Structure 1
Amino acid sequence: MTKVRKSADERKEQILDEAFKLFSNGKYNLIVMEDIAKACNIARTTLYEYYSSKEDILIALVERVSFESREIKFRGNTCREQLEYFAEDLIEKIRENKDIYRILFQATPVMSEKLSSKLINWREQNFQQVYKAAKMGKDSGEFREEISVEDVTFVYQAYLGQRMGEFIMKDEDIDPKMEAKRLGDMLWNGIGKNV
């Protein structure tokens, strides 16, 4: 019986699929390249032809689910509507790919500079989008005079980051639209002009 050779793209997908299964068992930190090679039924040296480390595989998995932030189009006429839309979009993305995000949380304590740098870039892109919406809100007088654009951006990201961490680690199922509305309500109770 002849062995069917896979193309490079097929092999990469196989490696990602098998690594994802292994990582999903909640033991990312315990998995080694040898485990992934065995799961793929390939030699460890073959695995290294595609990925130089377990973390490179994790990065590829994360990129496969579009972790790299894309520019979200502004939707809505007010700062609040835009911030709620951003939150809803992010929550939905996390909801659809919760296992990948959980693995990423597990990897955080042992993250290399490469993965850490990717996360920082993603957060910076999100920060800039939120900052633009908050600036628009400040310029249009949507929130109290003493509240700065930086404060709005910080509070928004702090709440959303905390809530998404809970959502991922507690395995909650939340409604993205309702959670985004809840964020908007909490945020506006603290900064809104008509409190």
Structure 2
Amino acid sequence: MSSKRQSSQQSQNSSFLPTRSLVASKVSCDLDEAKLLQDLGHNYIGVEKVFRRYDKDGKPMGFIRIDFKAENVAMKIIDSGYILIDGKQCPVQSYSPLICHRCQNEGHYASNCPQKPLTEQRAMEILKQQKKQFETMINEFERKWNARLSESTTSSNHAHVNQLSPIFRDLKTVCEQFNQQNVQMQRALHSIVNRGHDIQTKLNNEQAQPI
């Protein structure tokens, strides 16, 4: 394989969006964060932090978030589809952080946002940002889709499963991210509609009052 072809193949096998974090599922609940960090450190370079997820009752769940110091390590693991934890292959997916649609910061919902209520101007800015993100995701996915299909059709009459599976992984990822962005956009629009309704109600009440 030529260096040019090898470079193209590595580019096509990369994760859809660069990330330093991933989420692993089906992880043993008997392992605490310290043990997980130690175990992962033996098998992977640049493991920075491990976060265990807990249910509403404070019981550990089989999901953990793993942060790496570099994107290339996390992206390589995501492309492989699994990560080794305590000798077991645990499924992985890219980490999509909780983002407040009001301030666009991570870690809380708009209902708990410390900033002031969403204004129409800020909402329009967010909608423009999300539209640009949509276009970027779709264009990048289309580029990788066409490249992989082109390689599959030119290299063999029968496309191998291992050539097609990365395409469907990317499709799943972009659908998940699109759904998350769509929910945030709907919340932003809902806030605008509510504010408009409140203003209209206030105006109607003022007009109904006798002079």
Whether TM-score is above 0.5 comes out as: no
TM-score computed with the length of structure 2 as normaliser: 0.31
Q: Whose radius of gyration is greater, 1 or 2?
A: 2
TM-score computed with the length of structure 1 as normaliser: 0.32
Instruction: Point out the structure with the larger helix share.
Output: 1
